[in-house]
Structure 1
Amino acid sequence: MAATLNSDDISPSIARILNEKHRPEHLEALKAFTSALRDQEYRDVVGREAFSTLLKVLSRLSDELQAANGFDQDLKAVSLQLQLAAECFRALRNACVQSAHNQNILRELGFVDISIHILRFLHANSKSGDGIFESLRCGIQFLGNLSVGNQMCKDDIWRLTFPALLVQLLNVADEKTVSYASMVLHTCLDENKVEEVAELQNIQLVLRVMELCRTQPELDWTVLIATQHFLKSSALVENMYSAMSPCERLTLLELISAQLSGGESLDNGIPPGVARFLASSFQKCCGSVLSLATGSASSDEVLQEALTVISLLDVLCEMTSHQGQFIFLQDHPDLLVTTIELLKQVHTIGKSSKNIFSSAQNFDALVDVETDLSSQSPVVSFKAHLIRLVANLCYTHYNNQNKVRELEGIPLILDNCRMDSNNPFISQWSILAIRNLFDHNPKNQELLASLERRGDADYSALKDLGFRIEERDGSLLLRPTHKDV
């Protein structure tokens, strides 16, 4: 406890470690210092001399560890040094808690340099055994606490660890080490540093963080790094997306989708450039989804490419639902045209033969809560989401309403105003699309009224819009539905 130690006599207690052969008593002295530093009052009064002495101890331990012979084969010879180093880091970690004063002293004395020097050495020997990890973890924790709320410390740590050491620490075969390294990365990052990360030569750090998001989703720090920093940079998103495999892209798109749907704020931190890039990416690769119907998706990579298209569509649907933030996507070059053309292809393929895009009436599976989601078709709801995107792009947008008519998209959407167990809610999305297409657009209303009745079009669904189809003199007329009085 703090009451048993005085800040004036702790330095001599630790100084003995410098002049004597290492003994267990030295470790106990360091542990007492660590324990005392848990107390705020003690942290506020501990003298600079105590930290200066601790720096000398840590420097000696660094020299001894690197001078040890046979280190790769036998950790027993340096076991006590490793424990002493770990305890030094614990003491330093405690000293930084809610103490900018101590953070600045430690930085001025040179603890950042010596600590990172030791961490490099420990990482280089991390395959030697578990005995290394305790010191490695404590050293990284110290850097994390040193950087909290202290810009100068953040900048020093960043300068000495980015990108090589951070990449190395994130690849250590120890979950706690990876977690603590992620914490340091998250703490040091800011808008300017993200610009550095976005450069192509640093892409390995980005890819490792994203891989951890995929393989260790319970690791909160990497998810925070991605959502609070990476996704806010258009350049970084473009570079990482281009360098990723289709499987890795799915993780990125899942994070973007979660960011879009999470919380009530319309400002989700995703810049317009990211939205434009994803729209263009969808346009470039959307045709790969058709391979799912032909059976040409024989390889896992081809399947992942098709799944990427599906995820891109989901993200675009979510983005265009946020009319205020991403309304500019309504004018994204040829996005609407691409969507209509893909809808035509999917619809035609589904009707030409029995395949993955064909309509179905198997509604029992939809209500079976025990259904294994992994057994569902990868294109479930794909056609419905294409129609949803059309609806969003046409909302109060006169030119897009006309474009759909010119592309013969209105009969296509009408043909989907029916229940389809492979596309839950497709009739509702179709109704929404028709409503948006007819809103203040007489030409589109006239088109519907002039259509010949088709047996495969469920016009009764339009009743939900407040319209009815009335036949007169061999023609179809669009009439408002009169409410019964």
Structure 2
Amino acid sequence: MESSERLALCIENKDWDTLVSILKPKDFCSDIPRTLCDFNKLLKVAELLTDKDFNISEKIKSILLKCLANSCVNGYLEKAYVPNDGGDISAHKNIYKFLSQEVSNWSEEGPYPFHINFPYDGVVRWAIKTITDYASTQKRLSEDQTEVLRLSLQFLCNFFTFAFNISTSTNADVIMEYIKDQNFKDTIIKLVGHDRAPIARAACAYVHNMVKQLFKEFYATIDKKELTAELIKSTISDIQAALDTVILLLKEPNYLKDIYDEISIDDRLYLLDIIHQEVRSFVYNEENKNTHWLPIESIEFLSDKFKKKSDLILKTVNSELNNIEPTEVTILIDILGVLTSNPKLDECKKLQEDKSLLINCVYLLKAIHMVGKDTNNCFTPLQKLSDLALHTKADCCNEAEDPNNHVCKEKIQNHPAFGFKASLIRVIGNLVHKHEKNQNLVRENDGIPLLLDCCNIDARNPLIIQWTTLAIRNLVDKNPENQEVIGKSVKIGVVDSAVVREMGLTLHDEGEGNAIGIMPLPKKD
């Protein structure tokens, strides 16, 4: 007796124990072409799953779903079945039961290409209804129900990835109507951020595959704001498919613009952090030449956002201001710093053409530098290493010898202004790299003396001397006018840096234009 016949007998007698023992999901993973027996066996599985009259248990549903999901992988392609008489197959209560009866009269060359095709639409409809019903229940799902929900999502993942081609499927319009159902779309978004990780993983995998395979149809009809919020929630929970989906969406030209101002500030910061990490990986990969990870539209959008919001960083001088929004500006400048760091890439070339960005950076640097000189605030340079030395005790501020003048390292490093000045100089240096017009623009806006004045050790801005030196080097590269500005600079004296003195050294000027040397401090008696 063939396996399909044994399966049919179990279904007829409702012998579920025997059915479970003979039904092996791995048997449905074979490659096409498949036999008429294979086709008939899958029909029986689909019939049993979709026919309410059988009233099977959740565990049996799970086994059936695994079989159907496996049949999609490197297997059958979806194709609607049309009876020879041209009748409407949907008129039958269960199309798979009807087909099973039809198949009994087929030879190896039947009226339907069963070697390579299968009419999955009935299973797709059942899976979508099950997902919607289970997700909307007010009661907490049992473990078995949770597994059916997860496997229903898994089946849809496999189906749309392997078994469905919108351009060739004869049933594409019908199936697309199923997934465009508003109730189902809202359900999927809710499941993406589900508190049960297996459900969230499956939902994220489904969304990832839809974005990858059917972006146009999926993206146009989904609530982008809510989807992004739920994806970020699952990304924070270390669900890789959620992060992969966000990265896929970020590569679409209008996505960032569509959702940026709609999502919460916390989600926005997390999204910017993802962008920062991804552009770092991309830009610093030497194999990427003349290509871009972020769409040009998104790069322009981020640049515009920085220009519009950059003055928020100046408001951090007021300690009462919430630090969240200024943090957005600090991440934006870090992203721009990475994007402008490789002159071979399109991203850098595009930003170098943005004159308003360069002017904004120069004037913002000037404002920050002046504010830091006026009073003791978050932009005032720290030139003592001891200022940032954390005490070994938990409450360093209360235990400090001089609480009024004590500087807490943790507070300094967590402040949005930490490193911002150096990041700003980095972007300026990158924008003028081998770009004569930008070099001239900085000179015309008095940027060269400003940069020279910034070239001091500052514990609030690690590597500020290095970034400033590089920026000045880029400014004078093949630019005689800028070289002349540097040449005409007058040395007033040697800065008495508290940092250097704290290290037991002093700067010594030999006079008459000779070099400045570093000498040990005289020993105290």
Same fold (TM over 0.5): yes
Q: 1:159 to 1:352 in 2, by over 3 A?
A: farther
Higher helix share: 1
> Offset at 1:150?
3.5
Asked whether the 8 Å contact 1:234–1:271 carries over to 2, the reply is: yes
The CA distance in 1 between the partners of 2:10 and 2:138, in whole Å, is 28
- 1:161 paired with 2:185, answer no
Partner of 2:335: 315
Please say if 1:293 is aligned against 2:314: no
In 1, distance between residues paired with 2:444 and 2:510? 24
Q: Distance in 2 between matches of 1:341 and 1:375?
A: 24
Find the counterpart in structure 1 of residue 458 from structure 2: 420
Q: Paired residue for 1:197?
A: 219
Deviations 1:259-294 (A, max 9, x none): 111151433521111111100000001111122221
3-state SS of paired residue (1:47): helix
Residues 307 and 360 in structure 2, CA contact (< 8 A), matched pair in contact too: yes
Matches of 1:273 and 1:443, distance apart in 2: 35
1:248 to 264, 267, 271: 267
Give runs of aligned pairs for residues 405-484 of structure 1, distance below 5 A. Answer: 405-455=443-493
Superposition map of 1:337-356 within 5 A: 337-356=359-378
AA paired with 1:313? I
8 Å Cα contact 1:207-1:240 kept in structure 2? no
Instruction: Using structure 2 for the length normalisation, give the TM-score.
Output: 0.73
- How far, CA to CA, are the matches of 1:471 and 1:446 in structure 2? 23
Structure with the bigger RCO (C-alpha within 8 Å, sep 6+) is 2
Task: State whether residues 169 and 181 of structure 1, in contact with CA within 8 Å, keep that contact through their aligned partners in structure 2.
Answer: yes
Report the 3-state secondary structure (helix = DSSP H, G, I; strand = E; otherwise coil) of the residue aligned with 2:381.
coil
Q: How far is 1:333 from its partner? A: 4.1
Larger Rg: 2
8 Å contact 1:30–1:88 — kept in the other structure? no
Aligned residues: 433
Deviations 1:157-177 (A, max 9, x none): 665335333213224332111
Match in the other structure for 2:156 = 143
- What is the aligned-residue identity percentage? 24
**Which structure 2 residues correspond to residues 266-285 of structure 1 after superposition, within 5 A?**
266=288, 267-285=291-309
Q: Output the CA distance in 1 between the equivalents of 2:419 and 2:192.
A: 37
Shift, 1:147, TM fit: 2.5
Q: CA deviation at 1:310?
A: 0.2
Residues 456 and 106 of structure 1: is their aligned pair in 2 closer, same or farther, counting only changes over 3 Å? farther
**Alpha-carbon RMSD:** 3.5
Q: Secondary structure at the match of 1:178?
A: helix
Residue 365 of structure 1, CA deviation = 8.6
| CA deviation after TM superposition for structure 1 residue 334, in Å | 0.8
The answer to whether 1:52 aligns with 2:43 is yes
Please say if 1:33 is aligned against 2:23: yes
Task: Determine if contact 1:147/1:188 at 8 Å carries over to the other structure.
Answer: yes
Which residue pairs with 2:62 in the alignment?
86
Q: How far 1:351 moved relative to its partner?
A: 1.8
Letter in 1 for 2:437: N
Change (3 A) 1:41 1:97: closer
Following superposition, the deviation at residue 111 of structure 1 comes to: 1.4
Amino acid at match of 2:480: P
> How much has 1:413 moved relative to structure 2?
0.7
Deviations 1:359-413 (A, max 9, x none): 1135469899x99978723322110000000001111111211111121111111
Q: Does 2:139 correspond to 1:127?
A: yes
Mark the CA change 1:159 to 1:199 in structure 2 (over 3 Å): closer, same or farther: closer
Distance 2:224 2:157 in 1: 21
Amino acid at match of 1:134: E
- Match for 1:16: what amino acid? E
Residue 258 of structure 1 corresponds to which residue in structure 2?
Answer: 277
Greater alpha carbon shift after TM alignment, 119-128 vs 380-389: 119-128
Q: 1:8/1:233 Cα in 2 relative to 1: closer, same or farther (>3 Å)?
A: closer
Whether contact under 8 Å (1:86, 1:134) holds in the other structure is yes
Cα distance 1:410–1:128, how it changes in 2: closer, same or farther (>3 A)? Answer: same
* C-alpha contact 1:52 1:109 (8 A) present in aligned 2: no
Q: Distance in 1 between matches of 2:26 and 2:223?
A: 44
* Cα distance in 1, alignment partners of residues 464 and 210 from structure 2: 46
In the alignment, residue 123 of structure 1 is paired with which amino acid? A
Please say if 1:325 is aligned against 2:325.
no
* C-alpha separation in 2, matches of 1:372 and 1:35: 59
Is the Cα–Cα contact under 8 Å of residues 153 and 202 in structure 2 kept in the other structure? yes
- The answer to whether the Cα contact below 8 Å between 1:344 and 1:412 also exists between their aligned partners in 2 is yes
Query: 2:73 corresponds to which residue?
Result: 97
Residue 376 of structure 1: aligned partner: 413
Matches of 1:173 and 1:328, distance apart in 2 = 42
Equivalent of residue 401 in structure 1, options 398, 422, 439: 439
* Runs of 5+ unmatched residues, structure 2: 80-115, 393-407, 497-508, 516-525
Go from structure 1 to structure 2 and tell me whether the alpha carbon gap of 1:272 and 1:41 turns closer, same or farther (over 3 Å shift). Answer: closer
3-state SS in 2 of match to 1:148: helix
- 8 A Cα contact 2:10 2:18, kept in partner: no
Distance of aligned partners of 1:427 and 1:110 in 2 relative to their CA distance in 1, 3 Å threshold: same
How far is the alpha carbon of 1:315 from its aligned partner?
0.2
CA 1:109–1:278 in structure 2 vs 1: closer, same or farther (change >3 Å)? closer
2:3 to 3, 7, 11: 7
**C-alpha deviation, 1:219, in angstroms:** 0.6
In structure 1, give the amino acid aligned to 2:460: N
Provide the rounded CA distance (Å) in 2 between the counterparts of 1:317 and 1:26.
64
**Partner Cα distance (2:355, 2:217) in 1:** 28
Deviations 1:320-348 (A, max 9, x none): 11222221211214101111111111111
Unpaired runs of 5+ residues, structure 1, are: 66-79, 459-468, 480-485
Take 1:44 and 1:367, find their aligned partners in 2: how far apart are those partners? 72
**Aligned match of 1:461:** none
